[in-house]
Structure 1
């Protein structure tokens, strides 16, 4: 049974988008994963197919309605009750490699793409939904975030990457950024590949890579190095 993604969105034409290409596209063609889009407006009950309304208490913008979104979520839960429901929102938990691995190991995921000023908070109180953010910035909608989440999960599915170990020594897998990479030519613009990587001594290479991973993480992401020390 393939890993299935349900995407609840006002813009289903955005999918699969870039996921139709490269590794994810080939995996989709091979049936390793499948994709179903759900048009949220199909669950609106008024003649205008309204999915939003003005914010309680006043303010700019519009807020996505809990009743319409709940109906859409209930629809996908009937089809795939085991798949967790994720809501892409800047108010969510940070998307991490740990969460990505957990989602990739399951039956799939249902992703709600937020829009406008946000989602009526009562939806999160009434349904089991994991709010997730891909970074400390605001996008026009959750669709771009959904593509990021899906790509991160799909590449980890069995049979997607060429080698089973391809995803093991990567940034964030061990709590650190990945060590730097080099390839031919040995010399380029007066710069050479570090001698240790040309030594053939696997123990020295492993030690160098670990040291560089820690050094680069310390200089670029000190928040990660602090967490790594606590592990």
Structure 2
């Protein structure tokens, strides 16, 4: 699997893959990375890639030409890449999207900057457009990393234990149940905090039942929207 990041600031992205699970997966060649900077495709002598909006408005916009040229270059090099644009004005990315996209072979993540990307470029190239939440960031690099991380977790061999995917949040529209590690009793400042006793008895059927109940309660409290969706599909 290959990810190509289209960004004016590739250094903000590459460091993320130097440690931990994704670094090990990259060394095993489970995925490859590439970086394309639209500034390298600017025909302006100053490598300018932004300009004022037509019709007025605050801030600058990424120009059509440099980004178009960069994406056309990728298209010519890769054949049939799957272009994903990151922008706040799009559908929310979710776990189902991560699983579905993990089957793709060649994903291009296009990171906006300034006040965003000229809409015409998205119309010409975008296979999908995603947002990671109802808030604004200074650029699309963090959202692109978020998508990449979430997608790669679902690629065979990236996680050491694939069973961990089965109990994660958003499976069956439920949040993950609370988790606990040793010690069984944690004491701090005269108070004792206990692990649920059912977790210590070795009855896996009852533990699974309790986890389902706790996940149900947690979802109902923190994400009533997911709770209603779970109830609807039950």
Q: TM-score, normalised by structure 2?
A: 0.93
Following TM superposition, by how much is the alpha carbon of 1:30 offset from its aligned partner in structure 2, in angstroms?
A: 1.6
CA–CA distance in structure 2, aligned partners of residues 172 and 82 of structure 1: 31
What does residue 105 of structure 1 align with?
A: 103
Q: Higher mean Cα deviation, 67-76 or 20-29?
A: 67-76
Cα offsets for 1:57-116 (capped at 9, x unmatched): 111101112232122112212233443211111112211011111111211310000001
Cα offsets for 1:162-198 (capped at 9, x unmatched): 1121212100122111000012111112122111111
Alignment of 1:1-231 (within 5 A): 3-189=1-187, 190-231=192-233
Alignment gaps of 5+ in structure 1: none
Following TM superposition, by how much is the alpha carbon of 1:128 offset from its aligned partner in structure 2, in angstroms?
A: 3.1
Following TM superposition, by how much is the alpha carbon of 1:18 offset from its aligned partner in structure 2, in angstroms?
A: 1.8
Q: Higher mean Cα deviation, 52-61 or 71-80?
A: 71-80
Cα offsets for 1:131-189 (capped at 9, x unmatched): 21111111110011111111112222211111121212100122111000012111112
Runs of 4+ aligned structure 1 residues displaced above 4 Å come to none
Q: Higher mean Cα deviation, 32-41 or 63-72?
A: 63-72
Query: Contact 1:52/1:62 (CA < 8 Å) preserved in 2?
Result: yes
CA–CA distance in structure 2, aligned partners of residues 129 and 42 of structure 1: 24
CA–CA distance in structure 1, aligned partners of residues 31 and 9 of structure 2: 21
Q: Structure 1 residues 81 and 176, CA, compared in 2 at 3 Å: closer, same or farther?
A: farther
Aligned-residue Cα RMSD (Å) equals 1.4
Q: TM-score, normalised by structure 1?
A: 0.94
Q: SS at 1:174's partner residue?
A: helix
CA–CA distance in structure 1, aligned partners of residues 69 and 51 of structure 2: 16
Alignment gaps of 5+ in structure 2: none
CA–CA distance in structure 1, aligned partners of residues 101 and 148 of structure 2: 10
Query: Contact 1:82/1:107 (CA < 8 Å) preserved in 2?
Result: no
Following TM superposition, by how much is the alpha carbon of 1:208 offset from its aligned partner in structure 2, in angstroms?
A: 0.7
CA–CA distance in structure 2, aligned partners of residues 134 and 20 of structure 1: 23
Instruction: Looking at secondary structure, tell me which structure has more helix per residue.
Output: 2
